[in-house]
Amino acid sequence: MNTALPALLVEAFAAGPCTGNGAAVVLLDQPLGDGWLQGIARSLNQSETAFLLEQQGQWCLRWFTPTCEVPLCGHGTLAALLALGHWGLLQPGQSCQLLSRSGPLEATLGDSACTGQIVLPSGGLIPAEASSGLAGLLEARLGAGPEAYWRSELGYRVALLPPGSPLEALACLAGELEPQDRGGLILMLDCGDTPKELRPTVLGQPADYQLRFFAPGLGIAEDAVTGSAHALVAPFWLNHHGRSSVVGWQCSHRPGGMVCELASSGMIRLSGTGHLLWNGTLHGQSDGSGADSWASLLAAG
């Protein structure tokens, strides 16, 4: 069948155009199959494309990279929230639950159309040992190896770098990562040695830490601004700084950031802004099959 569906692109965790992380959002009017969803994500060629579907009065949300479906995507969730506001399906200040493969995610539209809060699971950092290959690569590229290294249930690996490491100037590492790090490698460091007036700001607050994220195993050489990565490492930085909120900055080629707080559920609340880049209608063909894969979200919620 032919489809004509509302679609837009939001540059998430960004205050203006050409920064932050672009996510396409498509509003479905029926459950469509995984092959169709993957094909659209491949054609739109964003780090993630988010698909929204209302079922039984609840919003279901799925995310696809150009090569696969992922269980969690922070910037795609913020983009979906802001899309609902743009389409008039959510009002300023209104909250909703987005049912996903990572469970129900709370989201609240801000007072303006370009701000919002999302709550993501964090998991935990499990101490591990960096491979000699990664340690040597970082030593060669940055002049220092990792001070600490962790794995996580999300599949991401995390390396803490010494303060002052030239993370922003680092060339993309995707092609040189070993298999254990290809599913998502976070490189992070403290901003404490940089005067506050020289740090980037998010919602008027200076950054406390910065990171970069490489995930060639997910079809993403480097992600611009990664909400799931910040949600994972935020508890470390909240404890490190002894505060109830911290500001994370991602110093990628399209930089952006977010304010991170511990939610009452034990999950992490991320606050950020987004910029609507384009808005239109997506045309395609689908056989309409896909109810089973969407029904699982309702069952989990």
Cβ atoms of 110 and 116 within 8 Å: the answer is yes
Question: Does 138 share its domain with 259?
Answer: yes
Question: Does 86 share its domain with 208?
Answer: no
Q: Is residue 269 part of a domain?
A: no
Question: Does 78 share its domain with 99?
Answer: yes
Question: Does 33 share its domain with 106?
Answer: yes
Question: Does 194 share its domain with 252?
Answer: yes
DSSP of 243-266 = SSEEEEEE-SSS-EEEEEEE-TTS
Is 48 labeled as catalytic in the residue annotation? yes
CATH of the domain at 284: 3.10.310.10
Question: Does 160 share its domain with 199?
Answer: yes
The catalytically annotated residue of 48, 147, 168, 176 is: 48
Query: What tens digit of pLDDT does each residue of 267-300 get?
Result: 999 999 999 999 999 997 776 677 778 888 877 6
Question: Does 72 share its domain with 140?
Answer: no
Name the one residue in this structure whose structure tokens are 């489809």.
Answer: 3
Cβ atoms of 55 and 39 within 8 Å: the answer is no
Q: Is residue 223 part of a domain?
A: yes
Question: Per the confidence metrics, is the pTM higher than 0.85?
Answer: yes
Question: Does 188 share its domain with 86?
Answer: no
Cβ atoms of 246 and 236 within 8 Å: the answer is no
Domain that holds residue 84: 2-121+274-300
Cα distance between residue 260 and residue 208, in whole Å? 10
Question: Does 74 share its domain with 163?
Answer: no
Going by their DSSP bridges, the two strands 95-100 and 115-120 should be labelled as: unpaired
Question: Does 28 share its domain with 88?
Answer: yes
Cα distance between residue 263 and residue 13, in whole Å? 19
**Could you give the number of structural domains in the chain?**
2
Question: Does 33 share its domain with 136?
Answer: no
Q: Is residue 192 part of a domain?
A: yes
Backbone phi, then psi, for 128, in 5-degree steps? -145, 180
Q: pLDDT tens digits, the chain, 301 residues: what are they?
A: 668 999 999 999 997 789 999 999 999 999 999 999 999 999 999 999 999 999 999 999 999 999 999 999 999 999 999 999 999 999 999 999 999 999 999 999 999 889 999 999 998 999 999 999 999 999 999 999 999 999 999 999 999 999 999 999 999 999 999 999 999 999 999 998 899 999 999 999 999 999 999 999 998 999 999 999 999 999 999 999 999 999 999 999 999 999 999 998 889 999 999 999 999 999 977 766 777 788 888 776 6
